[in-house]
Amino acid sequence: MKLEQKNNNLVITIDSTNTLDSPALQTALQEYSEQSVILLISSNELSEKESEFLVNLTKQRKANGTSFVVVTTDITADEAPEGLNIVPTLLEAEDVIQMENIERELGF
């Protein structure tokens, strides 16, 4: 797992040696709880448990005034679970975060 800071966002790359329930990911998410997170994954499908985990994470971050976006080229936005932001590139993830920041600034 790799952690990077990019444009005030935390970018987490999950490689093949990590899973979404790894303690390292949990620790990172807690440590950077006040930052928007971009999670890069290379999974071609999400289990029900993983989907639920990611959707809950999105809700928690949203409630906390931050954003959570998953980047993968293997799952399209139409295949993504309801309530989860999935985009194919890092640039588009940053766009989503910027749009959600504007929404928050407008009081929504």
Partner 1 sequence: MSKLSVEHLLGIKYLTEEDIQLIFETADQFKEVINRPIKKVPSLRDITIANLFFENSTRTKLSFELAEKRLSADVINFSASQSSVKKGETLIDTVNNILSMKVDIVVMRHPNVGAGIFLSKHVDAKIINAGDGTHEHPTQALLDSYSIREKLGSVKGKNVVIVGDILHSRVALSNIYALKLQGANVKVCGPTTLIPKYITSLGVGVETDIRKALEWCDVANVLRVQNERMDVKYFPSTREYSQLFGINKELLDSIGKEIVIMHPGPINRGVEITSDVADSDSSIILNQVENGVAIRMAVIYLLAQQIKR
Q: Which residues bind partner 1 (CB under 8 A)?
A: 77-78, 85, 87-88, 92, 94-96, 98-100, 102-103, 105-108
Nearer Cβ to partner 1 (54/100): 100
Tell me how far apart the alpha carbons of residues 1 and 106 are, in angstroms, rounded to a whole number: 35
Q: How far is the CB of 107 from partner 1 (least distance, A)?
A: 7
- In sequence order, the 6+-apart residues with CB closer than 8 A to the CB of 6 are 38, 90, 94
Smallest separation (angstroms) from partner 1 to the CB of 86: 9
In the complex, the smallest distance separating the C-beta of residue 24 from partner 1, rounded to whole angstroms, is 28
Q: Which is nearer to partner 1, 12 or 96 (CB)?
A: 96
The minimum distance between CB 67 and partner 1, in angstroms, equals 10
Report how far apart, in Å, the C-alpha atoms of 36 and of each of 29, 32, 43, 57, 67 are: 10, 8, 21, 11, 5
- Cβ distance to partner 1 smaller for residue 10 or 25: 10
Nearer to partner 1 by Cβ, of 14 and 97: the residue is 97
Name the token pair of 87: 């985009």
Closest of 68, 85, 66, 63 to residue 76, by C-alpha: 85
